[in-house]
Amino acid sequence: MTPDPRLSEAMQLLPDYLGSHLRVSLTALALGAGLSFPLALAARRRPLARAALLGLASIVQTVPGLALLALFYPLLLVASALAMRLAGLSFSAFGFLPAVLALALYSMLPVLRNTITGLDGIDPQLIEAARGVGMTRRQQLVLVELPLALPVIMAGLRTAAVWVIGTATLSTPIGQESLGNYIFSGLQTQNWVFVLFGCAAAAILALVVDALLALVAQGLARRSRARLVLGVSGCLALIAIVLTPALPHLRGAYVVGAKTFTEQYVLAALLADRITASGLTATTREGLGSSVIFAALKAGDVDVYVDYSGTLWTNTLHHREIPPRAALLDALKNELAASGVTLSGELGFANAYALVMTRKRAAALGVHSIADLARHPELTIAGDYEFFARPEWAALREAYGLSFRAQRQMQPDFMYAAVAVGEVDVIAGYTSDGQIAKYDLVVLDDPKAAIPPYDAVVLLAPKRANDAALRAALAPLYGRLDIAAMRDANLRAAQGDANATPQAVARWLWETVAKGDASK
Amino acid sequence: MPDPTPPAIAFEHVTKRFGSGDGAVADVSLAVERGEFLSIVGASGAGKTTLLRLAARLIEPDEGAVRIDGADIRAVDPVALRRTIGIVFQSGALFPHMSVAENIGITPKLAGVKPAEIAARVDRLIALVRLDGVRHGARFPHELSGGERQRVAVARALANTPSIVLMDEPFGALDPLTRDALGEDYVALHRALALTTVMITHDITEALVLSDRIAVMQAGRLAAVGTPTELAASVDPYVAELLGTPRRQIARLAAVLPP
């Protein structure tokens, strides 16, 4: 039996992902512990500062890791803009920096709390003895208090390490490569080998770092030189890995971004493929949050990605009125150009939000268009994680006077199956999704045009506006991807087939496009 | 004409108040002569430990002054002062993360004595306090018996060759045999090294057997001070009550144990 090709692909990516994961985790841990430790020492005899510090750290802890990471991106964008304006300094608010800062903040509570608890727990008689034998305050701390509190402090550091390594998997959506890339891309493309591989790798890494720190702690506490040497050399080896620069061939000149759904993974692979085919180099940054990716493009952290005209129009530019398709595209081009972003071309298909039902259920209820749904408030609807917060949903409800018994959020790839088995009645699906055909679903008409058109468009970062080589590499794609081909590609990529990686599907898609050209 | 040799320790009208009242001392004046072994006895909370802590400047008096060799200790850096005094803490208070040798060697180490000299001194002290078991220096406090721990505590107090040693209930938690042996051994050391010793104890018998003089504390005040013989003749009702126990013991012991 030959091993699953997805496994060998995962192994190929491992050095890169693991290196990035270690780099961001250890930097965050060093920063977090480096800040917390002196803060704990300074605050422990000051009740007010101590309460404030522990309170703040606890509040940070209650913020979900994903949200904390995502919050740092806009925060740093503002800081970066300010630094540029005030000091002419430029730094990237994307990827490494926000991930490190958020994770460092996350790591602070255990170190703070354990340092303070450990020092508090020392027998006061021993402190008196330390003073009595003639120790200065500093000597008391270094010779007696810290050694006695060490096991508790090290336990805090170990907790922090495990948290940070686990939470670092969530830094993928803000553009930091990590072991989370396996998990995010695996979930989107139903590649369970990737998901399991990512989880296992993160868990093993956390256990290894925890074990090394335990060795250091035991070595210090029990004065076992062997344990100490083993633990410290293990930690040094990890740090050496972190400091080794990433292999140069893995870093392409152009960064292709992708949002968090299957089609985006396929399209990013397609763009990267075209760029590479023209002799340039490209790296993909996948699983980026919808709000992160446009800002990243504007800031130049992502060079190129595919977005949708309606999404940009309503979500990014905050327009409420929806002009006809061609007018919208023109207006969009102009407005984007004003902020430096180039709309370089349309791919030829649209991936619109659409309300979708099974053919049988629609026929039974006599529903042909969205307007008919207004008569059925007893139905339930499901959408992806952002749909019900998007202006399109508000517009739809307003235009048709819709109300549903319940609305549920779902992983996009599971929505179609859910509506097919009757788990929900209506879903907010995507018109380019191959599963519509697979499950024999119907797309409901939108007679009032409440949902804007969603032409897939290629956006270029401001710094790439005049990049002729890039434009030339991408030009063969414009207008060539029809909805049928895209649906087929999406269906293949979402099947979880071992040979249907986004890269493989992208190659198939290109061959289909090229064949179509040849037959013309 | 002033006294040509000032007392080793002099408490002059010392008052120290605490919020709870426990351990407070009020207007205590007491002189400990050079070379003397003085015990302080009294009930818990009578202020015995407070006097000891005042002498090492671990706390400051509210009123009055403490002099060591005639000098007001407020003029001396507290850290430097403590390095010249040996202290044996209640129940030893050995540093649990340090070996016996490191515990004993901590005071010379703080004083900047060279490691080789410290090692030699630690060996001499281990022999001096009769801790000459196998490799005692490398063991840790939790591996020792209660008596052995107290011997280490005494050795630690002596490591900086102090002339004054303060001991807070040094033998209190030990079984009677060990306690007796340690007390005898310490008095021998006290004489051999010409120390001035102040020992706190709640056991009047121990004080009578070991000390040159005894100070009796009652509710923060110095009720009486004198040699065992002088105390035995005291008419102070509290002192008489204190001495009642050993008197009754003697009578009973005489009946049981023929001379």
Interface membership of A121 toward B (CB under 8 Å): no
Question: In which order are the strands placed within the sheet that holds B196-200?
Answer: B85-88, B164-168, B196-200, B37-41, B213-218, B221-226
Chain B nearest CA to A18, separation (Å): 38
**Is B80 in Cβ contact with A129 (below 8 Å)?**
no
**Is B82 in Cβ contact with A134 (below 8 Å)?**
yes
Chain A nearest CA to B134, separation (Å): 20
Q: What is the pLDDT of residues B168-193, one digit of tens each?
A: 999 887 888 888 888 888 999 899 99
Q: State yes or no: pLDDT of A248 exceeds 50.
A: no
Q: Which residues of B touch A221 (CB under 8 A)?
A: 97
Cβ A351 vs Cβ A478: under 8 Å? no
3-state secondary structure of A408: strand
Cβ A289 vs Cβ A70: under 8 Å? yes
Per-residue pLDDT at B250:
84
Q: Which residues of B touch A123 (CB under 8 A)?
A: 93
Task: Taking residues A41-63, report their average pLDDT.
Answer: 87
**Is A125 in Cβ contact with B82 (below 8 Å)?**
no
Interface membership of A128 toward B (CB under 8 Å): yes
The whole-model pTM stands at 0.74
Per-residue pLDDT at A245:
63
The span from the first CA to the last CA of chain A, in angstroms, equals 43
CA distance B165 to B34: 11
**Is B87 in Cβ contact with A125 (below 8 Å)?**
no
Which residue in chain A is spatially nearest to B96 when comparing CA positions? A148
Interface membership of A132 toward B (CB under 8 Å): yes
Q: Which residues of A touch B97 (CB under 8 A)?
A: 144, 147-148, 221
- Alpha carbon dihedral A57, A61, A66, A67, in 10-degree steps, equals -70
Angle value at C-alpha B114, between B108 and B118, nearest 5 degrees = 50
CATH code for the structural domain at B9-254: 3.40.50.300
Chain B nearest CA to A289, separation (Å): 51
CA distance B12 to B7: 12
Name every residue whose Cβ is closer than 8 Å to that of residue A481 and which is 6 or more positions away in sequence: A347, A348, A349, A456, A509, A513
Cβ A474 vs Cβ A275: under 8 Å? yes
Among residues B92, B97, B122, the alpha carbon closest in space to that of B109 is found at B122
Cβ B108 vs Cβ B159: under 8 Å? yes
Q: What is the pLDDT of residues A155-214, one digit of tens each?
A: 999 999 999 999 999 988 887 888 988 888 787 767 788 899 999 999 999 999 999 999
Domain spans in chain B, listed from the N-terminal domain onward: 9-254
Burial class (CB in 10 A: 0-12, 13-18, 19+), A465: middle
Which of B56, B91, B111 comes nearest A132 by C-beta? B56
Interface membership of A143 toward B (CB under 8 Å): yes
Interface membership of A448 toward B (CB under 8 Å): no
Segment holding B37, helix H or strand E: strand B37-41
Cβ A149 vs Cβ A115: under 8 Å? yes
Q: Which residues of A touch B107 (CB under 8 A)?
A: 133-134
Interface membership of B89 toward A (CB under 8 Å): yes
CA distance A248 to B44: 75
Q: State yes or no: pLDDT of B31 exceeds 90.
A: yes
b or e along A259-283 (b: 16 or more beta carbons within 10 Å of the residue's beta carbon)? bbbbbbbbbbbbbbbbbeeeebebb
Q: Which residues of A touch B82 (CB under 8 A)?
A: 131-134
Name every residue whose Cβ is closer than 8 Å to that of residue A476 and which is 6 or more positions away in sequence: A274, A513
- In order of A39, A123, A171, A198, B156, the CA distances from A195 in angstroms are 38, 48, 15, 5, 61
Per-residue pLDDT at A128:
93
**Is A132 in Cβ contact with B107 (below 8 Å)?**
no
Segment holding A153, helix H or strand E: helix A146-167
Which residue in chain A is spatially nearest to B79 when comparing CA positions? A134
Q: What is the pLDDT of residues A76-103, one digit of tens each?
A: 878 877 887 787 776 777 778 889 999 9
Which of B82, B107, B111 comes nearest A131 by C-beta? B82
Q: Please state, for a pLDDT cut of 90, what percent of chain B lies above it.
A: 51
* pLDDT tier at B28, thresholds 50, 70, 90: very high
Q: Six-digit token pair at A123?
A: 């027998």
CA distance B251 to B248: 5
Interface test with B, best of A133, A137, A140, A222 (most B CBs within 10 A): A133
ipTM of the complex: 0.90
- How many residues appear in chain B? 259
**Is B83 in Cβ contact with A132 (below 8 Å)?**
no
Per-residue pLDDT at A249:
44
Segment holding B165, helix H or strand E: strand B164-168
Return phi, psi of residue A222, to 5°: -100, 5
Half-sphere exposure for A340 (CA within 13 Å, toward CB): 12
Q: What is the pLDDT of residues A311-361, one digit of tens each?
A: 888 888 888 888 888 888 999 999 999 989 999 899 988 888 889 999 998
Task: Taking residues A35-62, report their average pLDDT.
Answer: 88
**Is B80 in Cβ contact with A125 (below 8 Å)?**
no
Per-residue pLDDT at B3:
58
Interface membership of A146 toward B (CB under 8 Å): no
**Is A139 in Cβ contact with B87 (below 8 Å)?**
no
**Is B89 in Cβ contact with A130 (below 8 Å)?**
no
Cβ A121 vs Cβ B48: under 8 Å? no
**Is A134 in Cβ contact with B107 (below 8 Å)?**
yes
Interface membership of A438 toward B (CB under 8 Å): no
Interface membership of B56 toward A (CB under 8 Å): yes
Q: State yes or no: pLDDT of A396 exceeds 90.
A: no
Chain A nearest CA to B223, separation (Å): 28
Counting one residue from chain A and one from chain B, the pairs whose CB atoms sit within 8 A come to: 51
Q: Tokens 């013309």 — which residue?
A: A520
Q: Which residues of B touch A122 (CB under 8 A)?
A: none
Q: Which residues of B touch A139 (CB under 8 A)?
A: 110
Interface membership of A142 toward B (CB under 8 Å): no
Q: State yes or no: pLDDT of B2 exceeds 70.
A: no
Q: Which residues of A touch B83 (CB under 8 A)?
A: 133-134
Per-residue pLDDT at B197:
95
Which residue in chain B is spatially nearest to A126 when comparing CA positions? B93
**Is A135 in Cβ contact with B90 (below 8 Å)?**
no
| Mean pLDDT of all residues belonging to chain B | 89
Per-residue pLDDT at B1:
47
Instruction: Report which residue type is found at B36.
Output: E
Gyration radius of chain B's alpha carbons: 19
Interface membership of B106 toward A (CB under 8 Å): yes
Q: What is the pLDDT of residues B53-112, one digit of tens each?
A: 999 999 999 999 999 998 899 998 999 999 999 999 988 899 999 999 999 999 999 988
Q: What is the pLDDT of residues B36-47, one digit of tens each?
A: 999 999 988 889
Domains and CATH numbers, chain A: 5-248 (1.10.3720.10), 252-351+454-519 (3.40.190.10), 353-443 (3.40.190.120)
Q: Please state, for a pLDDT cut of 70, what percent of chain A lies above it.
A: 96
Name every residue whose Cβ is closer than 8 Å to that of residue A331 and which is 6 or more positions away in sequence: A313, A323
